[in-house]
Amino acid sequence: MKFSAIFFAAGASAAIIARRDPVFDVTNFSAGCIQHSTQCLYNFNLTQPGTGQVTPQVCKALVSANTDGSLPNVVDGACEETSRTFSVTKADEGLTLTVSQPVTPSSNQTGSHLITNGELEFEDGPNVHVQRYNGPTSFSLYP
């Protein structure tokens, strides 16, 4: 019984430590719908810590805005010069940015970050109502 409790505690500690290790780091993140346009742009730089990668890849997607001017979902956003892709998924809490890279032909490594509703704001102008990101430009993506 004591052995199983120790084993469980060690496993839980390992899970907590693993959770703290980011899969990817994002810098220069921006997202916003373009005034007097039907398009929104997501744009950021991406590196993978612990791999020796020093030159960030640029990831971006120009997508159609939602009819209410809010930032839309993204499927298969591209990261230049790499097989990495990203998605943005809208939920009640905000937007989830997820980056994925193939590890084997049948598996991917992914990391995600929640962009909270508090980091999203609408800009109003003459004949325009568009959403943009107003939060930290650098953050990590976790499994």
Over its length of 143 residues, how does the chain's per-residue pLDDT go in tens digits? 554 444 444 454 455 554 589 999 999 999 999 988 899 999 999 999 999 998 999 999 999 999 999 999 999 999 999 999 999 999 999 999 999 999 999 999 999 999 999 999 999 877 788 999 999 999 999 99
Phi, then psi, of 59 in degrees rounded to 5 = -115, 135
CA distance 8 to 34: 51
Burial (Cβ within 10 Å: 0-12, 13-18, ≥19) of residue 24: buried
Supply the pLDDT for residue 7: 45
CA distance 62 to 107: 27
Supply the pLDDT for residue 8: 45
Q: What is the dihedral of CA 119, 120, 122, 128, to 10 degrees?
A: 140
Supply the pLDDT for residue 3: 47
Supply the pLDDT for residue 125: 78
CATH of domain 22-141: 2.40.350
Supply the pLDDT for residue 74: 98
